[in-house]
Structure 1
């Protein structure tokens, strides 16, 4: 027979599930495991060990491995969110190609600072290619983020159109992959100046408006 959970044990488990700091620590640990060991290394046990919590903790917060993967992917975007201070300055400045350049440089700094986060997202993309359910959810999340960027750009009055935003997104994505996974490929080309050049080529200037 399997013993029924006591009321105190059920309450403890429910409290753990509602502990946002513990959940965030587990997601941070999952991101590190994904980045350093790959999707196959992502297990509840590995996450518990990385987060330095008792065995079985992760399984109390996430129903299954797929849910853990998806929530880790969503948490990557949280970790990459610009600071409120930067966004206040960005929104209060006149929309221009220069402001777009500053935004892309800030994104580069955030990606470099959260290297494991971006590498984890790449691992999640590969895992999504093998599992339709994960692919569907990840596609929705990435697409929503891209559409929000397009909306912010257009409603903010920044130069260019939807194609400008999508092209810049693809260019930056390609740069991040090389810069973070095979940095020696671009050893002779610093990432910062490359970002400036991409913005110059993709985003219309005052004389092109």
Structure 2
């Protein structure tokens, strides 16, 4: 397998776009090569098989959504109160929603994980680690709320993001800001 990390990332980004646009059936090595604008056969040089590609797409999604150091620093500045949690949740919803193709690809991966035990294992581990990291960050930062608060926010905001990206007329865009604020205020009375 090839080792060029930039090319691998480019292929995975292309695979995310294909998966989001075409679904699982449209995700082929040829479609990834075409989307990435590389010669045919390139993707198959980087990924041993479809399972390897799917697994690495899952990793790449989370890699691209990692908050940057400036956001982490900003989260730890100033008062650690409900208003700070509201601001952080708004940032999270915007960051995830702005990577629409990534989130839609993750939904495709989650559905496929019901049929592929290895993918299910990977996604379970990765999503559990993400939830745990969010809980640990929240508690270590001294923000109000406990583990249950963070889990409630993760579950409710994930569904809000899903609605926003797939059926945006259910909760029109002008309501999203107020919904996020209300969810935090109800989780942190």
Q: Same fold (TM over 0.5)?
A: yes
Deviation digits for residues 46-73 of structure 1, max 9, x if unmatched? 1001001011111111111111111111
Deviation digits for residues 22-68 of structure 1, max 9, x if unmatched? 11110100100110001121111110010010111111111111111
Q: Does 1:59 align with 2:49?
A: no
Partner of 1:29: 14
3-state SS of paired residue (1:38): helix
> What is the distance in 2 between the residues matched to 1:97 and 1:28?
35
Unaligned runs of 5+ in 2: none
> What is the distance in 2 between the residues matched to 1:104 and 1:77?
17
Q: Which has the higher contact order (CA 8 A, sep 6+)?
A: 2
> What is the distance in 2 between the residues matched to 1:27 and 1:81?
16
Please say which of residues 144-153 and 188-197 is displaced more in the overlay. 188-197
Within 5 Å, which residues of 2 pair with 1:120-131?
120-131=105-116
> What is the distance in 2 between the residues matched to 1:98 and 1:134?
38
> What is the distance in 2 between the residues matched to 1:109 and 1:163?
23
Partner of 1:138: 123
Partner of 1:85: 70
Unaligned runs of 5+ in 1: 1-13, 205-209
Give the CA deviation at 1:188. Answer: 7.4
> What is the distance in 1 between the residues matched to 2:87 and 2:67?
12
How much is the aligned-residue C-alpha RMSD, in angstroms?
1.4
Within 5 Å, which residues of 2 pair with 1:140-159?
140-159=125-144
3-state SS of paired residue (1:92): coil
> What is the distance in 1 between the residues matched to 2:51 and 2:133?
25
Rg comparison, structure with higher value? 1
3-state SS of paired residue (1:34): helix
> What is the distance in 2 between the residues matched to 1:18 and 1:43?
20
Q: TM-score, normalised by structure 1?
A: 0.86
Q: TM-score, normalised by structure 2?
A: 0.95
Q: Does 1:95 align with 2:80?
A: yes
